[in-house]
Amino acid sequence: MIRHDILIVGNGLAGLAAALSADPKLSTAVISKVHPLRSHSVAAQGGVNAPLGNSPAGRDDSPERHAYDTVKGGDFLADQDAAELMCREAVPTIIELEHLGVPFSRFPGGVIAQRPFGGAGFPRTCYAADRTGQVMLHTLFEQALKRNVKLYNEFMVTKLVLKNGRCCGVVAYAYDRGEFVPIRARAVVFAVGGYGRLYLRTTNAYTTLGSGIGLAFQAGLPLKDMEFIQFHPTSLYGKNILISEAARGEGGYLVNCRGKRFMADYAPQAMELAPRDIVARAIQTEIDRGRGFEGEYVHLDLTHLGRDKILKRLPAIREICIKFAGLDPVETPIPIQPAQHYSMGGIDVGNDCATGVPGVFAAGECSCVSVHGANRLGGNSLLETVVFGKIAGRSASLYARGAGAGPAGAEKALQDGLRKVEKQVEGWEKRTEGVPIHHLLQRMKVLMTAKAGVFRDRKNLREAVDGVLQMRRDYGRVIRTGRNRRYSQEIVNIFEFEHSLELAEAITRGALHREETRGSHFRTDFPKRDDKKWLKHTLAYLRNGKVELGSKKVRFTKYKPEERKY
């Protein structure tokens, strides 16, 4: 049996940061559905926040101001000590990344350039043109090559195996061999990203179905704040490819069909640079009230920025527009609409990235510390991946060094897990009639988009919960039509769907339960924030196959809840 001290699931920024900070004396491996450079971190564009104060307008910036913006941007649901921790680590983290080779863009004088981003009091977002995620991911991958980090690429974890409440390891599907393999690990770190593909319109890669979060939930780990889903204001109409917030940071306008910069009606001070939840709702409202184009989108106008600025600061955005929409933003406004972008919620962890299960850790988008609260600020997710990825690597090392032999009977538990997984697949294959997986997936996407989107209410959320429960029943009829188990995306898709069932229920139940409006969670039937009743995290547990909800206190330090005005 393959054995490691630490197994990191997911090889995006959080996973690689965890691997690089793990104790080199321990045996560490990273397992993922894709090669590291294919992870969704690569698609991050606009930048990463740190109060370097490099911009003349940012001289007074500080970790405290960064933390305040983060907490306020999150509508006061973030755990304030966690947000402070992240913001304290921001400057050293960016400097470290720069020293490792990240080619950040520069200001005259040679210091790292910083641009304004939504909800931030100062220009705080460091960037490498508009491909910041790409250069950060490539740099961490280069470091992983340098250190010979063991990678299992094109392996999908299909089960987390626990015994007596402790971590034994995982069962994984090996694409190349077309087989399932048990992997023993004293510590497992989840760094599996989000679940955008549960929605029809998402900026996320095809691979992000929340399978990793789902299988952790199935194994008994609680999820936190799942009702908080970020819809990015500006995705390219049609393909929903991300058009970075940097486009507005550099001065882009949002314009409706009457030619009006409509943000004046929603956030007169911050205008286009209000936090994402506010801008996304403003755009959706304009569209819903008939002030969009073709009833589907509004314009993101960059034409006044000039060719030089667009070519230098937003070259990838321009290329995306030319390639996927057949228009050049130098000359033509970009048609954009909101799309699912990010999950604020995730596997419940503390500031040390530890879950409630000894030996299981989580970091990055799949986790919920919580630093983002009810709405994440642009530029904070890349920061979170590296800061908390590193913490997770160190916490897992500390645990693995002290964990001893692990739970008795771990290997047997893994073998049992393997047999269960194999039986499952045989079940799909034996069925002679049933529903193909892409039908089920499509139904899930339609349901989540229609019933648990930007604007929510009790009736729709009730239907969402019922719909998800129906999907759980229908999954029992899933059929596998392929006959070759090597490189079978069908096997991957069925597992992804299966893992996302209870996850989708946690999202929709959480949203139905929370009768207030906070950050990204907007209830048209409860349009006000209600701190008396709801200034608390939602926890979702899976008990005997049923999703149950609880709550958890928000940790405060010095930032008092106030009304969010921008």
Partner 1 sequence: MKYTFRVLRFDPTRDRDPRFQDYVYEPRGKTTVLEALMDIRNEQDYDLSFRYSCREGVCGSCGLVINGRFDLGCRTMLDTLDSDTVVLEPLPNLEVKKDLVVDMAPFWKALQEVEPFLFPADEAPEREHRVEDRQMEKIDQFVSCILCACCYGACPVVARDGSYLGPAALAKLNRFVRDPRDRRPFRSWAKVDTEGGVWGCDTVFRCNEACPREVRPADGIQALRRAMTWNKIKRMFKRER
- List residues near partner 1 by CB under 8 A: 34-35, 37-40, 42-43, 94-95, 98-101, 103-113, 128-129, 131, 134-135, 138-139, 142-143, 145-146, 176, 205-207, 238-239, 241-242, 316, 319-320, 323-324, 436, 438, 480-484, 486-490
Q: Return d(Cα 97, Cα 113) in angstroms, integer.
A: 14
Name which of 75 and 365 has its Cβ closer to partner 1.
Answer: 365
370: cis peptide before it, omega within 30°? yes
Return the number of the residue (441 or 461) whose C-beta is nearest partner 1: 441
Helices (H), 4-74: 13-21, 63-73
Q: Is 276 a catalytic residue?
A: yes
Q: Which residues contact 510 (CB under 8 A, 6 or more apart)?
A: 225, 226, 227, 345, 538, 540, 549
Strand ranges for 439-481 from DSSP E: 455-456, 478-479
Single-letter amino acid code for the residue at 339 = A
Residue 248: both structure tokens together? 């507005």
At residue 373, the 3 state secondary structure works out as: coil
Asked whether 351 and 82 are in contact (CB, 8 A), the reply is yes
Q: In the bound complex, what is the minimum distance in angstroms from residue 131's beta carbon to partner 1?
A: 7
Strand partners, 526: 523
For residue 129, is it left (φ>0), alpha (ψ between -120 and 50) or beta? Answer: left
Q: How far is the CB of 409 from partner 1 (least distance, A)?
A: 35
Annotated catalytic residue within 276, 318, 485, 529 = 276
**Alpha helices (H) in 38-186, listed in sequence order:** 63-73, 80-100, 132-146
C-alpha 181/C-alpha 119 separation (Å) is: 46
287: tokens are 């569209």
Nearer to partner 1, 484 or 544 (CB): 484
Non-local CB neighbours of 198 within 8 Å, separated by 6+ positions: 209, 210, 340, 444, 445, 448, 500, 503, 504, 507
Find the shortest distance in angstroms from Cβ 484 to partner 1. 5
104 φ/ψ angles, rounded to the nearest 5 degrees: -65, 150
Least spacing, CB of residue 106 vs partner 1, in Å = 4
Identify the bridge partners of residue 125 per DSSP, sorted by sequence position.
49, 115
**Structure-block tokens of residue 220:** 């008994």
Least distance to partner 1, CB of residue 45, Å = 9
C-beta closer to partner 1: residue 200 or 403: 200
Is the CB of 416 or the CB of 429 nearer to partner 1? 429
Triad 117, 121, 126: Cα angle to 5°: 45
Nearer residue to partner 1 within complex by CB, 258 or 430: 430
238/409 with CB nearer partner 1: 238
CA atoms within 13 A on the CB side of 536: 15
> CB of 481: closest distance to partner 1 in angstroms?
5
Are 205 and 137 a contacting pair, CB within 8 Å? no
Q: Which residue lies nearer to partner 1 by CB, 12 or 252?
A: 12
CB of 216 to partner 1, least distance (A): 22
In the complex, the smallest distance separating the C-beta of residue 327 from partner 1, rounded to whole angstroms, is: 13
Instruction: Give the residue numbers annotated as catalytic, written as ranges.
Output: 276
